Structure 1
Amino acid sequence: MSIGNSPEDERPFEDVSEEARPSVGRALREARIAAKMTVDDVSTATRVRIAIVHAIEQDDFTPCGGDVYARGHIKTLARAVRLDPAPLLAQYDADHGGRPAPTPAAPLFEAERIRPERRGPNWTAAMVAAIVAVIGFVGFTVVKGGGSGSGTDEVAEGTTPTAGRTASPSAGSKKPAAPKPDPTESAIAAAPQDKVTVRVSAADGRSWVAAKDHNGRLLFDGLLKQGESKTFQDSSKINLVLGDAGAVQLYVNGKKIDDNFQPGAVERLTYTKGDPQIG
């Protein structure tokens, strides 16, 4: 007879060993072996580096660079070895303090989400502004004497026949301005030459996206739903991480990037000024 202990205290402990519930890394490793795949095979299929695959299978998520990156790698590796990623992600969250909250977008992109309150048009103010603009343009044309080329471009949507006839008498006093090139079909193609402009569009599904500037400042960290897009701009370099690269379409400095990313693949990309190039 034991002293000070009830019979309930002498019951055997419940088995909560690793064999009862494998860790995330062990579950991925066993599934890979069962699928008859090597670490090199998994790395080739997912584009996740071999060193990171080895570390994750040992439950070492430090090389991933953070919980958000770790969750993306777990999801990608699970799909490659034919495992449902949801239970593994839930187990990872439980072991690491819960799912990380999305980081709010940088102030540069607040304008994309904030829209001014829609109000009815003020027709009186619009008419007054239009009359003032026409009078000012006519006066400017008469004083300058023949600014026909540039004046037409500036008021292409708001000019009137009267303004055109007023400028014609002095049209021969100066050489006509060189014709400007036709506007490009894509607005992003007009990106400034001295900066790098990257547009990420979730065309084929949703994807987690993170973007940093050349100083490492986080510009965006969150989920893009299908149909949504984000544009990032920096003076020299944009660093991207795509959680599901196969679901997005990239436009860099006005040019579409056709890299045929695989669905579910995690991609780390760097773009700089000039023609698109992957860093």
Structure 2
Amino acid sequence: MASINIGETLRKARIDKKISLDELQQRTKIQKRYLLAIEENDFHELPSDYYLRTFIRQYADEVNVDGNHLIDVLDGKDRPLPTYPELQTVDELRKNKHAENPTRARFRATLPMVVLGLVALAIISVVGYMTWLDHQETAIIPENSSVQVERSENTSSQAEKVSSSQPKPTVESSKPPEKPKMALAMENNTVNAATMKVDHAEKPLKLTFTGKERVWIGVQVNGALIYQYTLQPGESQTTELPADTAQALITIGMAKYADIKVNDQGLDFQPGDSLLKKDITLNIAYAA
């Protein structure tokens, strides 16, 4: 048995706000007979389960009622309270610390001394090796060394003159190849569904929705609803797809009442003047 009466809850909230059914019809764009059916809990009068859930949420938004809670009541679900793991007390943490293996504790205590000893041994070895090298070097300079130095200086100066007179090869700068731009292409289209290809997409893939009128939108990945929102006229909302998503399904409650951008590039899903729901499937290939 449901915890609350969905229709009665919405009707009471509407009356409390002094909103007539005609006025509610103008605000939500939902036909009056469907609004009456919801208030009387005649849910079978709605065209489909999708429209039932969408209309309940739209009705609830207008009268400041939690639409998601009403949908949970419709599905017969209760929201469980969150559970949190018990935190360890300070006494337990101290017991865990003192229960450490005594052998490991002794090893940790002596480790700094062992490291210092190894460092000191390395320093002594380096100093001894450098001292031995100093004794091996000779301080005797041959008598003709001055002549050899002069000749080497003359030879190096001539080589510099020759090298400076020769033209230096020019190095051509190579520009990195430009990345291909993202491309959107229609693969299949009907009044209620469209399939579109997204090539060379940059990660993460960002979807931006703008409402022309009040309209519900939803995004599904692998059959799971990852985003939903009811746009007001002129309102924009943005969401990102999970990393490496290869296919996404976008649902527009009334096709012509929303615009879509993919990574700031307009998505022409050809809504026409349709007031029906439209599903847009995106097949995504990312840039290398």
Structure 1 or 2, whichever has the larger Rg, is 2
Which one has the bigger strand percentage? 2
